[in-house]
Structure 1
Amino acid sequence: MKKKRMYSATALAAYTAVAVGATGVLAEETIFTDVSANHPYADGINALTAAGVVKGFGDGTFKPDTTVTRGQAAKMIAGALKLDTTNVKNPNFKDIETSNQYYNQIAALVATGFVNGYQDGTFRTADKITHNQFAKILRNVSAVYPVDATALLTEAKVVFNPTKQLTRGELSSVLATMLAGATPAPEPEPTPEPTPEPETNNYKLSIMHVNDTHGRVEEFPKLMTAVNEQRAKNPDALLLHAGDILSGTLYSNEFVGQADLPFINALKFDAITLGNHEFDLGSSPEGHKALVDFIKAAQFPVLTANVDFSKEALFTGMFSDLISSEPENGKIYSGMIKEVNGEKVGIFGLTTAETKDISSPGSIAFENYIDEATKAVKAFEDKGVNKIIALTHIGFDDNAAYDNDQILAKSVPGIDIIVGGHTHTELKEPVIVDTNTVGEKKDTTLIVQAKEYAGFLGTLDLEFDEQGVVVKHEGQLIKVADYANDEAGLKLLAPYKEKVDAISSAEIGVTLTEELVSPRTSETIKVGVRNSETVLGNIITDGMLTKAKQYTDKKVVMAMQNGGGIRAAIPAGNITTGQVITVLPFGNTLALMDVTGAEIKAAFEHAVKDAPKESGGFLHISGAKLEYDSSKEAGSRVVSVKYYDEATKTYVDVADTETYTVATNAFTAKGGDGFDMFKKAYEDGRVTDLGLSDWENLKEQLLSMKEIKYTTEGRIVDVATVEAK
C-alpha cells in the first residue's frame, strides 16, 4: 500500500480552514464542555476535531482523561496520518473479523508497518494502550516520517510513564503536534527485499513467567496448554514463578498448597521465589508446616537471597545461603546457576521485607534486598556468569521504604532481567531501565511482570552480546483464557475440584437482594474497601464485636478489620460457604487487645494516612465512629474517635490515658500492615488470640441478621469530603 505524506503546518492550517468553512468552528475555540481553553491538551483536541480526525460524545463532552483502547488508537492514528483505509489487505488477526469497526484502520496501519499484533496472532482491540506501546508505534512511524518520539511527547506536554495507560487527550495532543510540526517527507522508495541479518555471536535466551497465582488452581490446565505451546517453539525456555502461590481461594484454604503442587511440578518450573503470602500460616497452631511440606515435595529449587530461616526449626537442613550450580529439588537457595543452550545463567530470588508487616513470618527474618542482591551478583560474576536474572517478589512500584524492582534495577549493576511479582502489575511489554540512581547510563535491565491469578503467561526472548549485555529483546503477555484446558491437567484437577465444589456450593441459608460490594478504586470509582466505610466491612466488624463479647467478661468497646484483608464481594442471591471464605481467605483468627486511647488514635492515624488513596491498613470499625480530615498532614488527621457506651446509649470520646479492650484479627493485632502500636501491645502480652475463624464469624453474623441494610451508616467520615460538598 502507498504510504501517505505527513501534513506540514501550512497543510494542516489549510485543512483546518476547510473544516472551519464547513463547521463554523475554530480550532482555538472551546468546542467541548469538559475541555476548557486552558486545558493542557485543548489545542490538540480542538485542532483534530476541526480537521475531522476525532469527535466528541453526544452529551457535548470529549472525555480527555478517558483511556483509549488499541482499536480506538488505531482509528485516530490512521485518521491523523490520512492513510488509505479503503484498499486494504487482510491483516490476518484471528480476533478481528472484517466487520470489526476498526478493521480498515488496523489493516492500513499494519500494511505500513506502524503497528503489529501479538505473538499468538491476535491484535486485542479492546486492550488499553500504554505510553510504552504508543512510543513503540511512534518509533515505527519515524522510519517513514521525520518524527522524534521523545521530543514529540515532550512538545505535546505528555509526561511519559511506560506503564500508564494513554488517554484521549494525550493521544490527540501528540497527533496534532506531529501534524503541525512535521515537514513533508518524500514519498518512500519501494521497499526492497529484506536482507538477512548478519550472523552474530549473540547468545539467545527465552523465559516464561507467572506470579501471584494465589491458589487459582482451576486456571492451571489452561496454563499448561499455553506453556506446552511455547515449549514446542523453544524447548529450552526457562519457566519461573515470582511468588505468592498460597492463599486466596478455597483450594488454598482446604489444601494449603497441596492442590497447587501437582500442577507446579507438572509444569516443570525451573525455579520459584517465595512471596509474602507463603508465610500467612505462621501464626497458626501448625506454624509454617504447610509451607515446609510444599517445598519438600517440590520438583524444583526455591530461591530467596534475603530471607533468614535460621531461627525457625521447621526449616532446618532445607536452606543453603549460597549460590548453587547443582541445586536440589525441594531445597531453598540464595540463587542457582543453570546451563541453558551451552551458557551459564544465574538466577537469584528476593522476597519483600514488607512480609514482616503484611504476613505472619514469626521468627523468620528479612535482610536488606539491595545488599543481598549485590552479594548474589558478585557471587555469579566470580564464577564467570554474566547473564543474571533476579526472580523477585518485591513489587514493580511498591513502597520504596521497603523495596521495589525499579530501585533494584537502578541500584545493583549486573542484573539483566527482573522477573517480578507482588504488585500484580500488568507489564504488557518489558520495562527498560538503563540509568542508575543518579541518572547515569548503565547496561540495560529489563523488568517483566504478568499481573496475577495465572491469567497471563509472560514470555521474554533476549539476545546477549559476548559481554553478557542485553542487546535485543521482545516480550509480551499471553492471555491464558484463550487456550483450551490440558486434558492431563483436568485429570489432576478433578479430585480437588470435587471437594472444593461441594464446600463452595453449600448454601448457608441467607439470601441477598443486592450485592455486598468490595470495590477497589479506579479512575471512575473513588470509594473502595481500602479507603472508605463499606457495608461489607460493617457486617464483618459487627460479627467480630458480637463474637468477642461472647468470649470475655471484659468490656469490648469496638472491633477493627483491615481493608486489605477483605478480598471479594458477595453477589446477590443465596450465599454459599465458598463465597464467605473468598471474602476472608487468609485463615485469620479473632483476637482481643488491651490498648490505650492514645494507641487507638495512633492506629487510626496510621489507617487514614494515605486517604483518599488506598491502603491495606485502612480500618473498618464496629461499635465506634471515626472522623478524620484527609486534607491535613498525615499523622494529624484524626478529628475524633468515639465508642458506643451501652450504659448511656451514647457515643463517648476515647480518652488517651484510659485502657480499652478492642477486637481485631490476629494479623492486625500482631502489627500487620505496619500497626506498630499493636505490635507493641502484642509483645507486652496485651493480646489474646481467641482462635476463632474470621470467615466463620462472618457466616454466623450473616445468619443472625434479620435484615441487611445496603447503605453505610456514617461510621467513618472524612470531614474534608463533607466540607467539599
Structure 2
Amino acid sequence: MIKIIHTNDIHGKIEKDEKTKVDISKFSAKLEEIRKEHSTLLLDAGDTIHGQPIVSISEGKAMIDIMNEMKYDAMVPGNHDFNYGRERLLELAELAEFPIISANIYDEQGDRLLAPYTLKEIDGVKVGIFGITTPETVQKARPEDIEGLRFEDPVLESQKMVSILKDQERVDVIIALVHLGIDKSTMPEHRSDTLADSVEGIDLVVDGHSHTELKASRLIGEIPIVQAGDSMRCIGMVNFIKKACGEAEISSEFIYREDINGIKEDLSISRILIRVDEENNRSTSEIVGISKRDLNGDRFSVRTRETNLGVLLAEAMKYITGADIAITNGGGIRGSINAGFITRKEIVSAFPFDNYVITKEVSGKDIVKALEHGLSFYPEPSSAFPHVGGISFKLDRLKAQGKRVYDVFIAGERLEERKLYKLATNDFLASGGDSYDMFKTAKMTGSYASIDEVLSTYIKKQAYTGARN
C-alpha cells in the first residue's frame, strides 16, 4: 500500500494558530511516523508559496525551504504561485529539491515552462505524476507576471501525458496533480471533474484551487478526486493499493488539527520557522518610502470617515490593477503609520490580515448599492465603512438608508447604472464579507498580490507620500 499525502491552497499559512490550522511542525512529525510504517508520496496541488508575509517577504523561498525539509515529492503551481512573476517561479523551481511540474504551460517559443511530469518507483510500482495548472491564471494573475505564457486545455494536455506515461514510460500508476478545482464559476472544460470524466487511464486526481474538502468517494466514472480544503485546515491522505489485475483499491481520509495535537513538533521545521521569522524581521525594517504626515489608521476613525491611510490604500489598489475604482473596508485597517520613514514592518502591522487584491466586473447600480451599504450605519462606526479611490459622491444623511448616496462620478463622468466598471477590492469584500453581497456573484477578472505588498509597491513608486488627513 502507498500512502499518498496531499496538501493544496496553503497560501503561505504556516505560522502557528491556536484555533484552526494544522501545525506544520506537528504535521511534519506525523509524516515521519507514517513514513516509518508505509511507503509514501507527498504531493502539493498549488497556491502554496504566496499569501502570508512569512513566505511572501522572501518571495516564496521560506515555503520552499520547509517543503524541502519535509521531502515533498512533487508540486503543481497554482495561479497564485505566479504572484512573484514567472522568472521568480523558475528560480524557486531551481531551489526546490522536488520537481515543480505542469504540462499545460507554454512559453513564447512553444516550449513547456516546467517539466510536465515526474516518475517515482515505490515498492516495485512505477508511478507517473503529471501536473496541470488552471487556465484561469490568465484572468487571476497580473498580466506582467505571466507575460508570454499560454495555459493550454487541461483535457488535451492530460491525454498527451497519459499517452506518454503509458506508452513510453511504461508506468503502472498515473496520478494527475492538478490545480483546477470544481467551482461552478469555473468553465466546465477547466474543472477537475471534467478532466477526470474525459481522460482515460488516470488512477487518481489530486486537486486544488476550489478550497474543497474532497475524499476519494468523490468519483467521476471510476476515477477518484481528492482535495484538502485550504489554509492547512486539514491534510489529505489516500490509501492506494494497486492490485495484480491492474485495478486500484483506494480510500482516503483527512488529518485535522485535533488529530495531531499530542504529537511533539518536528524541531527541524520549528528551527526553520524561527530562522525565517528572524530574517523577516530584518527584511521588514526596509524603508519603502517617506510620509510627510501621520497616516491615520485609528480604529474609530477608519470606521466613521475616510482617512489618508484608507484612501492611500484604495489609490494603490486602483493603480496596481488598472481598475476604474477601488473600495476597501475600514475594518481591514488595524493601525496607523507615523510620519517619516515608512518601513515594510509598519505596513504589515497596519494591514495584518492575509487579504489580497481582487478585481471584479461590477455594474454602476451595484457600486451605488455598495456605497449605500458601507455608509448605512453612518455616523455610527462600522467595519464596512468604505474607503475609495477613483470615485466621488455625495451623501445626504437626512434621507432614508439606501437612498442617501447621490452625484456619483467616476473619472470625472457621472456613473451609469447599467455600465460595467472594473472594481479593485480585497478578497474579503469580493466574497461578500462585511455583507457586501452585491460583490459576491460579480465576475472576477483578476487576482493580485497581498494588501501589504500592493501598498508597499505603490509607495515605492511614489518615492514619498504627502497624504492629506
Give the TM-score range, shorter chain: 0.5 to 0.7
1:543 equivalent to 2:312? Answer yes
Instruction: Report the secondary structure of 1:458's partner residue.
Output: strand
Query: Partner of 1:387 in structure 2?
Result: 173
Q: Within 5 Å, which residues of 2 pair with 1:473-552?
A: 473-480=250-257, 482=261, 483-500=263-280, 510-513=297-300, 542-543=311-312
1:308 equivalent to 2:106? Answer yes
Instruction: Report the secondary structure of 2:84's partner residue.
Output: helix
Query: Partner of 1:264 in structure 2?
Result: 67
CA distance in 1, matches of 2:119, 2:323: 56
The structure with the larger Rg is 1
**1:238: how far off?**
0.5
Query: Partner of 2:153 in structure 1?
Result: 368
Instruction: Report the secondary structure of 2:26's partner residue.
Output: helix
Equivalent residue for 1:222, pick from 4, 23, 26:
26
**1:473: how far off?**
2.5
**1:410: how far off?**
1.2
1:430 equivalent to 2:216? Answer yes
Q: Within 5 Å, which residues of 2 pair with 1:48-447?
A: 204-218=1-15, 219-234=23-38, 236-282=39-85, 288-311=86-109, 332-360=114-142, 361-383=146-168, 384-398=170-184, 399-401=186-188, 403-427=190-214, 429-435=215-221, 444-447=222-225
Query: Partner of 2:430 in structure 1?
Result: none
Query: In structure 1, what residue type is equivalent to 2:75?
Result: I
CA distance in 2, matches of 1:394, 1:548: 27
Instruction: Report the secondary structure of 1:449's partner residue.
Output: strand
CA distance in 2, matches of 1:582, 1:221: 23
CA distance in 1, matches of 2:418, 2:363: 14
**1:355: how far off?**
0.2
1:644 equivalent to 2:424? Answer no
Query: In structure 2, what residue type is equivalent to 1:227?
Result: L
1:453/1:698 CA distance change after superposition, 3 Å: farther
Conservation of the 8 A alpha-carbon contact between 1:208 and 1:458: yes
CA distance in 1, matches of 2:305, 2:226: 35
Q: Within 5 Å, which residues of 2 pair with 1:587-602?
A: none
Conservation of the 8 A alpha-carbon contact between 1:545 and 1:558: no
1:183-238 CA-partner distances (Å, limit 9, x unpaired): xxxxxxxxxxxxxxxxxxxxx3220111112122435323311211221221x210
**1:354: how far off?**
0.2
Query: Partner of 2:380 in structure 1?
Result: none
CA distance in 2, matches of 1:664, 1:587: 7
1:233/1:357 CA distance change after superposition, 3 Å: same
Conservation of the 8 A alpha-carbon contact between 2:361 and 2:444: no
1:585/1:432 CA distance change after superposition, 3 Å: closer
**1:433: how far off?**
1.6
CA distance in 1, matches of 2:309, 2:324: 12
1:522-566 CA-partner distances (Å, limit 9, x unpaired): xxxxxxxxxxxxx9999987335667999xxxxx996235x8xx9
Equivalent residue for 1:464, pick from 239, 242, 252:
242
Conservation of the 8 A alpha-carbon contact between 1:388 and 1:417: yes
**1:253: how far off?**
2.9
Over aligned residues, Cα RMSD in angstroms? 4.9
CA distance in 2, matches of 1:412, 1:540: 51
Instruction: Report the secondary structure of 2:237's partner residue.
Output: strand
CA distance in 1, matches of 2:79, 2:317: 28
Conservation of the 8 A alpha-carbon contact between 1:545 and 1:663: no
Percent same amino acid at aligned positions?
Answer: 24
Instruction: Report the secondary structure of 2:255's partner residue.
Output: strand
Name the structure with the higher strand share.
2
CA distance in 2, matches of 1:365, 1:558: 27
1:380-439 CA-partner distances (Å, limit 9, x unpaired): 221432421110001133513451111111111221111111111123x3233253xxxx
Conservation of the 8 A alpha-carbon contact between 1:505 and 1:577: no
1:239-281 CA-partner distances (Å, limit 9, x unpaired): 0011112221112331001111211111111111111011123
Instruction: Report the secondary structure of 2:190's partner residue.
Output: coil
Conservation of the 8 A alpha-carbon contact between 1:386 and 1:467: no
Query: Partner of 1:449 in structure 2?
Result: 227
Query: In structure 1, what residue type is equivalent to 2:36?
Result: A
Query: Partner of 2:325 in structure 1?
Result: 559
Instruction: Report the secondary structure of 2:97's partner residue.
Output: coil
**1:621: how far off?**
5.3
Instruction: Tell me the TM-score normalized by structure 2.
Output: 0.67
CA distance in 2, matches of 1:221, 1:646: 50
1:645/1:277 CA distance change after superposition, 3 Å: closer
Equivalent residue for 2:455, pick from 694, 697, 701:
694
Give the number of equivalent residue pairs.
Answer: 386
**1:342: how far off?**
0.3
CA distance in 1, matches of 2:118, 2:316: 49
- Select the structure with the greater relative contact order (CA < 8 A; seq sep ≥ 6): 2
Conservation of the 8 A alpha-carbon contact between 1:311 and 1:363: no
Instruction: Report the secondary structure of 1:333's partner residue.
Output: coil
CA distance in 2, matches of 1:434, 1:604: 35
Conservation of the 8 A alpha-carbon contact between 1:305 and 1:350: yes
1:283-312 CA-partner distances (Å, limit 9, x unpaired): xxxxx3321211111111121111113449
Query: In structure 2, what residue type is equivalent to 1:478?
Result: I
**1:492: how far off?**
1.4
Gaps of 5+ in 2: 16-22, 287-293, 338-345, 371-385, 395-404, 426-441, 447-452
CA distance in 2, matches of 1:368, 1:557: 29
1:494/1:381 CA distance change after superposition, 3 Å: same
1:604 equivalent to 2:373? Answer no
Query: In structure 1, what residue type is equivalent to 2:223?
Result: T
Instruction: Report the secondary structure of 2:231's partner residue.
Output: coil
CA distance in 1, matches of 2:241, 2:365: 47
1:577 equivalent to 2:343? Answer no
Query: In structure 2, what residue type is equivalent to 1:466?
Result: A
Query: In structure 2, what residue type is equivalent to 1:487?
Result: L
1:256/1:414 CA distance change after superposition, 3 Å: same
Query: In structure 1, what residue type is equivalent to 2:10?
Result: T
1:673/1:654 CA distance change after superposition, 3 Å: closer
Query: In structure 1, what residue type is equivalent to 2:126?
Result: K
1:1-56 CA-partner distances (Å, limit 9, x unpaired): xxxxxxxxxxxxxxxxxxxxxxxxxxxxxxxxxxxxxxxxxxxxxxxxxxxxxxxx
Query: In structure 1, what residue type is equivalent to 2:131?
Result: G
